[in-house]
Amino acid sequence: QVQLQESGPGLVKPSQTLSLTCTVSGGSISSGGYYWSWIRQHPGKGLEWIGYIYYSGSTYYNPSLKSRVTISVDTSKNQFSLKLSSVTAADTAVYYCARGASTIFGVVPPKDWGQGTLVTVSS
Amino acid sequence: QSALTQPRSVSGSPGQSVTISCTGTSSDVGGYNYVSWYQQHPGKAPKLMIYDVSKRPSGVPDRFSGSKSGNTASLTISGLQAEDEADYYCCSYAGSYTSVVFGGGTKLTVL
Protein backbone atom coordinates (compact mmCIF):
# COMPACT_ATOMS: atom_id res chain seq x y z
CA GLN A 1 0.00 0.00 0.00
CA VAL A 2 1.35 3.39 -0.95
CA GLN A 3 2.39 5.74 1.83
CA LEU A 4 3.00 9.48 1.62
CA GLN A 5 5.03 11.60 4.01
CA GLU A 6 5.29 15.37 4.03
CA SER A 7 8.45 17.13 5.12
CA GLY A 8 9.68 20.70 5.32
CA PRO A 9 10.05 23.70 7.62
CA GLY A 10 7.30 24.20 10.15
CA LEU A 11 7.91 27.92 10.36
CA VAL A 12 8.19 30.34 7.45
CA LYS A 13 8.60 34.09 7.59
CA PRO A 14 6.11 36.40 5.85
CA SER A 15 6.94 37.20 2.22
CA GLN A 16 9.19 34.13 1.95
CA THR A 17 8.56 30.91 0.04
CA LEU A 18 7.03 27.87 1.68
CA SER A 19 8.64 24.66 0.44
CA LEU A 20 7.38 21.15 1.19
CA THR A 21 8.26 17.72 -0.14
CA CYS A 22 6.14 14.60 -0.23
CA THR A 23 8.04 11.31 -0.25
CA VAL A 24 6.18 8.35 -1.70
CA SER A 25 6.86 4.79 -0.59
CA GLY A 26 5.24 1.49 -1.46
CA GLY A 27 4.64 2.55 -5.02
CA SER A 28 6.27 4.38 -7.90
CA ILE A 29 5.37 7.96 -8.60
CA SER A 30 6.04 7.15 -12.26
CA SER A 31 3.24 4.63 -12.47
CA GLY A 32 0.50 5.91 -14.71
CA GLY A 33 -3.10 6.46 -13.79
CA TYR A 34 -2.51 8.67 -10.76
CA TYR A 35 -2.15 12.30 -9.86
CA TRP A 36 -0.19 13.68 -6.92
CA SER A 37 -1.72 16.56 -5.05
CA TRP A 38 -1.34 19.12 -2.30
CA ILE A 39 -4.29 20.03 -0.08
CA ARG A 40 -4.31 22.35 2.91
CA GLN A 41 -6.50 22.95 5.91
CA HIS A 42 -6.52 26.22 7.79
CA PRO A 43 -6.90 25.87 11.58
CA GLY A 44 -10.44 24.86 12.37
CA LYS A 45 -11.51 25.06 8.74
CA GLY A 46 -12.26 22.78 5.82
CA LEU A 47 -10.08 21.29 3.09
CA GLU A 48 -8.70 23.45 0.29
CA TRP A 49 -7.28 22.05 -2.92
CA ILE A 50 -3.93 23.61 -3.84
CA GLY A 51 -3.07 21.70 -6.99
CA TYR A 52 -1.83 18.47 -8.49
CA ILE A 53 0.75 17.03 -10.85
CA TYR A 54 1.10 13.97 -13.03
CA TYR A 55 4.39 12.08 -13.23
CA SER A 56 4.80 13.59 -16.68
CA GLY A 57 4.98 17.02 -15.08
CA SER A 58 1.59 18.32 -16.17
CA THR A 59 0.00 20.42 -13.46
CA TYR A 60 -3.28 21.96 -12.36
CA TYR A 61 -3.44 24.74 -9.77
CA ASN A 62 -6.28 26.25 -7.74
CA PRO A 63 -7.04 29.51 -9.59
CA SER A 64 -7.03 31.42 -6.30
CA LEU A 65 -3.43 30.36 -5.61
CA LYS A 66 -2.13 29.88 -9.13
CA SER A 67 0.07 32.97 -9.21
CA ARG A 68 2.02 31.79 -6.16
CA VAL A 69 2.09 27.99 -6.51
CA THR A 70 4.55 25.65 -8.16
CA ILE A 71 4.28 21.87 -7.91
CA SER A 72 7.07 19.73 -9.29
CA VAL A 73 7.95 16.05 -9.39
CA ASP A 74 11.26 14.21 -9.01
CA THR A 75 10.72 10.68 -10.24
CA SER A 76 14.30 9.66 -9.41
CA LYS A 77 13.63 10.33 -5.73
CA ASN A 78 9.98 9.26 -5.83
CA GLN A 79 9.03 12.69 -4.49
CA PHE A 80 6.91 15.65 -5.44
CA SER A 81 7.14 19.15 -4.04
CA LEU A 82 5.17 22.29 -3.31
CA LYS A 83 6.42 25.85 -3.41
CA LEU A 84 4.15 28.69 -2.32
CA SER A 85 5.65 32.13 -2.67
CA SER A 86 5.01 35.43 -0.91
CA VAL A 87 3.36 33.78 2.06
CA THR A 88 1.33 35.63 4.66
CA ALA A 89 -0.28 34.60 7.93
CA ALA A 90 -3.27 33.48 5.87
CA ASP A 91 -1.15 30.63 4.53
CA THR A 92 -0.76 29.13 8.00
CA ALA A 93 -2.31 25.69 7.68
CA VAL A 94 -1.78 21.97 7.81
CA TYR A 95 -0.53 20.87 4.41
CA TYR A 96 -1.34 17.39 3.14
CA CYS A 97 -0.03 15.50 0.14
CA ALA A 98 -2.36 12.96 -1.40
CA ARG A 99 -2.68 10.54 -4.30
CA GLY A 100 -5.72 9.97 -6.43
CA ALA A 101 -6.72 8.20 -9.59
CA SER A 102 -6.90 9.85 -12.96
CA THR A 103 -9.72 8.50 -15.12
CA ILE A 104 -10.78 9.11 -18.69
CA PHE A 105 -13.14 11.72 -17.28
CA GLY A 106 -10.53 13.50 -15.18
CA VAL A 107 -9.26 13.33 -11.62
CA VAL A 108 -11.37 11.72 -8.90
CA PRO A 109 -11.19 12.19 -5.11
CA PRO A 110 -7.88 11.12 -3.56
CA LYS A 111 -7.66 7.82 -1.71
CA ASP A 112 -4.24 8.00 -0.08
CA TRP A 113 -3.16 10.85 2.19
CA GLY A 114 -0.06 11.81 4.09
CA GLN A 115 -0.30 12.59 7.79
CA GLY A 116 -0.03 16.32 7.17
CA THR A 117 2.42 18.93 8.36
CA LEU A 118 1.64 22.20 10.08
CA VAL A 119 3.25 25.25 8.55
CA THR A 120 3.07 28.48 10.48
CA VAL A 121 3.81 31.80 8.81
CA SER A 122 5.20 34.19 11.36
CA SER A 123 8.13 36.51 11.87
CA GLN B 1 -16.37 25.43 -9.07
CA SER B 2 -18.36 25.97 -5.83
CA ALA B 3 -17.92 23.90 -2.73
CA LEU B 4 -20.38 21.12 -2.06
CA THR B 5 -23.00 21.85 0.61
CA GLN B 6 -22.98 19.87 3.83
CA PRO B 7 -24.81 20.52 7.11
CA ARG B 8 -22.49 22.11 9.62
CA SER B 9 -23.38 19.61 12.32
CA VAL B 10 -25.38 16.49 13.03
CA SER B 11 -25.78 14.47 16.18
CA GLY B 12 -27.07 11.13 17.37
CA SER B 13 -27.06 8.83 20.34
CA PRO B 14 -25.04 5.62 20.53
CA GLY B 15 -26.71 2.87 18.57
CA GLN B 16 -28.72 5.24 16.42
CA SER B 17 -28.22 6.04 12.75
CA VAL B 18 -27.32 9.39 11.26
CA THR B 19 -27.17 10.58 7.68
CA ILE B 20 -24.98 13.38 6.37
CA SER B 21 -25.92 14.97 3.08
CA CYS B 22 -23.69 16.47 0.42
CA THR B 23 -25.36 18.57 -2.26
CA GLY B 24 -23.73 19.60 -5.50
CA THR B 25 -24.82 20.01 -9.10
CA SER B 26 -25.24 17.94 -12.20
CA SER B 27 -21.66 18.89 -13.11
CA ASP B 28 -20.19 17.18 -10.08
CA VAL B 29 -22.14 14.98 -7.63
CA GLY B 30 -25.02 14.35 -9.98
CA GLY B 31 -23.00 13.76 -13.09
CA TYR B 32 -20.71 10.89 -12.18
CA ASN B 33 -20.35 8.21 -9.52
CA TYR B 34 -17.15 9.66 -8.09
CA VAL B 35 -18.10 10.82 -4.61
CA SER B 36 -15.92 10.05 -1.62
CA TRP B 37 -16.35 10.56 2.10
CA TYR B 38 -13.59 11.21 4.62
CA GLN B 39 -13.55 11.00 8.40
CA GLN B 40 -11.23 13.33 10.28
CA HIS B 41 -10.53 13.19 13.97
CA PRO B 42 -8.90 16.22 15.62
CA GLY B 43 -5.25 16.53 14.75
CA LYS B 44 -5.41 13.64 12.29
CA ALA B 45 -5.37 13.35 8.53
CA PRO B 46 -8.60 12.65 6.65
CA LYS B 47 -9.36 8.94 6.36
CA LEU B 48 -11.19 7.56 3.35
CA MET B 49 -14.45 5.92 4.42
CA ILE B 50 -16.41 5.69 1.16
CA TYR B 51 -15.38 6.05 -2.48
CA ASP B 52 -17.22 5.85 -5.80
CA VAL B 53 -20.44 6.80 -3.95
CA SER B 54 -20.93 3.54 -2.08
CA LYS B 55 -17.74 1.47 -1.98
CA ARG B 56 -15.95 0.83 1.30
CA PRO B 57 -12.17 0.50 1.50
CA SER B 58 -10.84 -2.54 3.26
CA GLY B 59 -11.03 -2.14 7.03
CA VAL B 60 -13.92 0.35 7.11
CA PRO B 61 -16.83 -1.05 9.14
CA ASP B 62 -19.99 -1.87 7.23
CA ARG B 63 -21.81 0.51 9.56
CA PHE B 64 -20.70 3.15 7.09
CA SER B 65 -22.60 3.30 3.82
CA GLY B 66 -22.93 5.75 0.96
CA SER B 67 -25.60 6.52 -1.58
CA LYS B 68 -26.60 9.14 -4.10
CA SER B 69 -29.84 10.55 -5.45
CA GLY B 70 -29.72 13.20 -8.11
CA ASN B 71 -27.29 15.92 -7.07
CA THR B 72 -27.14 14.84 -3.43
CA ALA B 73 -24.86 12.19 -1.97
CA SER B 74 -25.34 10.81 1.52
CA LEU B 75 -23.24 9.09 4.14
CA THR B 76 -25.15 6.97 6.63
CA ILE B 77 -23.59 5.72 9.83
CA SER B 78 -25.62 3.07 11.59
CA GLY B 79 -25.10 1.76 15.12
CA LEU B 80 -23.35 4.97 16.16
CA GLN B 81 -20.33 4.55 18.40
CA ALA B 82 -18.44 7.09 20.44
CA GLU B 83 -15.41 6.81 18.15
CA ASP B 84 -17.51 7.94 15.19
CA GLU B 85 -17.50 11.46 16.61
CA ALA B 86 -15.45 13.38 14.07
CA ASP B 87 -15.63 15.75 11.13
CA TYR B 88 -16.82 14.29 7.84
CA TYR B 89 -16.06 15.70 4.40
CA CYS B 90 -17.50 14.77 1.05
CA CYS B 91 -15.55 15.19 -2.16
CA SER B 92 -16.63 14.83 -5.77
CA TYR B 93 -15.29 14.70 -9.28
CA ALA B 94 -15.94 18.10 -10.80
CA GLY B 95 -15.21 17.86 -14.49
CA SER B 96 -12.37 17.49 -16.95
CA TYR B 97 -9.27 19.66 -16.73
CA THR B 98 -10.09 20.72 -13.19
CA SER B 99 -9.70 19.52 -9.65
CA VAL B 100 -12.16 17.75 -7.41
CA VAL B 101 -14.43 19.74 -5.12
CA PHE B 102 -14.81 19.36 -1.37
CA GLY B 103 -17.75 19.90 0.91
CA GLY B 104 -17.43 22.28 3.82
CA GLY B 105 -17.46 19.49 6.39
CA THR B 106 -19.94 18.22 8.97
CA LYS B 107 -19.22 17.81 12.65
CA LEU B 108 -20.79 14.63 14.01
CA THR B 109 -21.47 14.62 17.73
CA VAL B 110 -22.29 11.38 19.49
CA LEU B 111 -24.48 12.35 22.42
Span A13-24, pLDDT tens digits: 999 999 999 999
- For residues A42 and A40, give the distance between their C-alpha atoms in angstroms, rounded to a whole number: 7
3-state secondary structure at position B72: strand
Q: Would the CB atoms of A106 and B93 count as touching at under 8 Å? A: yes
CB A121 within 8 A of CB A88: yes
- For residues A87 and A73, give the distance between their C-alpha atoms in angstroms, rounded to a whole number: 22
Q: Would the CB atoms of A49 and B36 count as touching at under 8 Å? A: no
Q: Tell me the HSE value of B49 on the side-chain side, using a 13 A CA sphere.
A: 25
Interface of A with B in 56-115 (CB under 8 A): 60, 62, 96, 100, 103, 105-115
**Closest-CA distance of chain A to residue B54, Å:** 13
Span A50-102, pLDDT tens digits: 999 998 889 999 999 999 999 999 999 999 999 999 999 999 999 999 999 98
**Closest-CA distance of chain B to residue A75, Å:** 22
- For residues B96 and B75, give the distance between their C-alpha atoms in angstroms, rounded to a whole number: 25
What was the pLDDT predicted at A96? 98
